[in-house]
Amino acid sequence: MPVVVVESPAKAKTIEKYLGGDYRVLASFGHVRDLPPKDGSVDPNDDFAMKWEVAADSRKHLKAIKDALKDDQTLILATDPDREGEAISWHLLEALSPALKKGAAVNRVTFNAITKTAVTEAMANPRQIDQPLVDAYLARRALDYLVGFNLSPVLWRKLPGAKSAGRVQSVCLRLIVDREMEIEAFKAREYWSVHARLATPGGAEYDATLVSLAGAKLDRFDLPTAEKAAMAVSAVASRDLRVTSVGAKPATRNPWPPFMTSTLQQEASRKLGMGAKACMSAAQRLYEAGLITYMRTDGIDMAPEAVHAARDAIRAKFGDKYVPSSPRMYKNKAKNAQEAHECIRPTDMMLSPDRLKVTADDQRKLYDLIWKRTIASQMEAARMERTTVEIASPDAQVGLRATGQVILFDGFLRVYDQGRDDDDGEDSARLPAIQQGEAAKLVGKAFEAEFAKAREKDDPVPAAPAGQRAAPGLLLNDTAAVAARQHFTQPPPRYTEATLVKRMEELGIGRPSTYASIVTTIQDREYVRKDKNRLIPEDKGRLVTIFLTKYFPRYVSYDFTADLENELDEISAGDLVWREVLGRFWKDFSKALEGTSELRITEVLDAIDDALAPHLYPPRADGGDPRVCPVCGAGRLNLKTARSGGAFIGCSNYPECRYTRPISAPDGEEAVGDRILGEDNGDPISLKTGRFGPYVQRGEATEENPKPPRASLPKGWNPATLDLDRAVQLLSLPRPVGHHPEDGELIEAGIGRFGPYVKHGSKYANLPDVEEVFTIGMNRAVEVLAAKQTRGRAAAAAPLRELGDHPSGGAIQVMNGRYGPYVKWEKVNATLPRDVTPEDLTVEQALELITAKAGKSPARKTASKTAGKTAGKTAGKTATKKATAKKPAAAKPAAKKTGAAKAASSKA
């Protein structure tokens, strides 16, 4: 029967269900070949010849396919419908060529969804491998190899601790580093806004904001200080107010288009907290199960039959009024849209999330998101009314505005509303019925609750004039009817995975199949860390970015990277020759590499230090030299690298002066370096900074005492505020708590490698807080130790049955285990057969099971030890003798391994 090859077993299972027994469906388990991770795999001097190697794990999969082809020489390659899928098919054909006889039929089929209709139609319309798509893959793979395997060694030699560079990953890292430096250079600007709580003649309340003062329109920064805000509060509070106009405007909101890869990752991050990698993994499983269309796509258009199915589903579930008069059509706005794929949508529009038979929580949630977005994209627009109320004083010196909106028809919002990133949103407050010309009365005590909450803050309190009250960030008139709120402009937000993918898409960097791997790679290499879903560059990530920007500016340029992606797209369209693109790239890139060959590490650090100078050494408030060491006053501050790959600012007078500070937070950082904290029992107690951070020391190192007592500062302790008492406490650890009431053995409290602890003999128990080390008493220590012992040693499970003693000694028991009942004797556990119940098991049957289990040749080292002990104990028994008497065959010498190591993952 014809052999169909796909990437994964899950996809194979689904397709086999649709094709029936007329085809044999096998999985390649992804790529079967890759470039060996060594020099020479791509040879620019031989027209970019590429040496491919079959991965060790792939050999068995290829063998299975070759064996199947012996019976039928019809090969159907049904990998994914994109550039990467085309490449997998090409690799399969190249690797299987020796097994294919002359005249063998080889066809390529693709389908955007794994449904019976799509698969059947694809099988009826086979084609040949699309060579331009393969060429685009070859160009990308060669580019990534040439950049990664030529640029990374430069980093290793010139920048200690750097791990690697990649054609797209380094540009993505630059985005994050540039944003962080924007944030650190940002200077907040203060401004105030004034608000009033008003009431209609009927008593209905609403809020309004001051928009004009002294007859002039207020801009954002027209109230820059508390003093000016206080004057505005007085102006509003001292005047009668009246409604001058009420305007209501109809508005509509249209639905968002269905998902493509980038928007799916963004929404999954916002609404489900999924990272890009987790999102694509869940989507892959939904696709392979035939529940959604292909999930790596730049397209937002939907097949006509899917549009009609969505409209039918809307009509059936929500009624005719939610179905627009004509289908909605969407046009892709993304740069460099790859192959023309459909959007990501359910394959069956009538399969609502509540009817989905999927147990995995991440898949259910993601399907719910995809279904709602798809259905909403074909629904009627939401209709609303936006109301604007203008209020003014009779002398026109004060003007306020109240806004609100009312949804008249929810339309698509009944199903789906898109999330937002770093967006204040729009004013959707409901307003009461307000008439033009009516009085607007100030409502007393309106802001009392807000005032009480503000007073709990420790921030500075502005001065309040007569007739007003002040709290941190807030001013009120005495009746609390008018409030002024303090604001500060905010720096641009750090990227989340969602906003980073969105920005890459806007710049034309990366493609749907690479977004997740790029974002994951820069985190795996510890260039970036994720904190509360925000991406923050590590010091080594900053250094790599500055190095590449300084010495390889073109290759971390956003425009250059996007243009190169454009050329790859032109190759896939057959408009460019891939080797010519590589030739132009390599000509310039190799020259840039040669330009760094003579660089010394000190030169690189000096260049990076100069490039980062405005960021690392901001002007001092006193006008002094920002590079002068704040501890010794004589040394100069400069950039240094640690063996770990991190970087810091240190004094040039090291080791005499050990002042250091991190490169990522120079502003407001207090000087931290060697200093004497005081004396204790005649010994100087000093604070020092070492390779592993700050520590305290008693006395000084001498020939007689080369290692005086030291103690590292616990996490969370600020070296700048450390005093003598705390240092002495730290040096006195471990601290004796007392003798245990049961055995009289000493209990101690201390700080170890894994944090604070109490110790009783050889038993340790962690403490939740460092401070408890200095205060813990006997009762608490005994309680913590007892709790640890209870947690660490689970109560032994009671046996289901006791069968008596084994002939060699020791009880035979029937136990209930995780995988069902089993017989237990000494270290031997033998699972009961399915047809034997614990109640019916006899002693003879139990002995047979134990003997069989003990006599098996174990595969693992631990099992081997168990079997050896068992054999020794039962040496006198006939059954055991039979099991152990047969000598194992002499071990054959291990076969020499062939082939190179598994190829490294391609660099993004």
User: Do the beta carbons of residue 4 and residue 122 sit within 8 Å?
Assistant: no
Pairing of strands 755-760, 746-752: antiparallel
Q: Establish whether 287 is a catalytic residue.
A: no
The amino acid at residue 792 is: G
Q: Are 479 and 445 in contact (CB under 8 A)?
A: yes
Dist CA 200 CA 731 (whole Å): 69
| Active-site residue identified among 294, 416, 551, 757 | 294
Task: Kindly report the number of other CB atoms within 10 A of residue 787's CB atom.
Answer: 11
Neighbours of 770 (CB within 10 A): 16
How does DSSP classify residue 204?
-
* CB contact set of 841 (below 8 Å; sequence gap of 6+): 801, 803, 814, 823, 832
Given 3-state DSSP classes, what are the helix, strand and coil percentages for the chain, each rounded to the nearest 5? 35, 20, 40
| Cα–Cα distances in angstroms (integers) from residue 713 to residues 113, 509, 891, in the given order | 58, 44, 55
Cα(248)–Cα(403) distance, integer angstroms: 10
Answer yes or no: are the C-beta atoms of 176 and 504 closer than 8 Å.
Answer: no
Sequence-distant (6+) residues with CB within 8 A of 123 are: 19, 76, 109
What is the residue whose two structure tokens read 């059936």? 316
DSSP-assigned beta bridge partners for residue 390: 245, 401
In angstroms, rounded to a whole number, what is the distance separating the alpha carbons of residues 192 and 476? 13
Is 188 in contact with 221 (CB distance < 8 Å)?
Answer: no
Site of tokens 């590590």: 538
Q: And the tokens for 15?
A: 């397709």
Is 35:14 a contact under the CB 8 Å cutoff? no
- H helix intervals, 302-456: 304-318, 361-377, 448-454
Pair 264, 498: CB distance under 8 Å: no
By the 8 A CB rule, do 875 and 807 touch?
no
- What is the distance of C-alpha 700 from the center of its chain? 46
Backbone angles phi, psi at 700, to 5 degrees: -125, 155
Give the chain's length: 908
Of 82, 908, 80, nearest to 509 by C-alpha is 908
Instruction: Yes or no: say if 527 and 166 are a contact pair by the CB < 8 Å rule.
Output: no
The pair of three-digit structure tokens given for residue 34, joined into one six-digit string:
């890759």
Catalytic center residues: 294
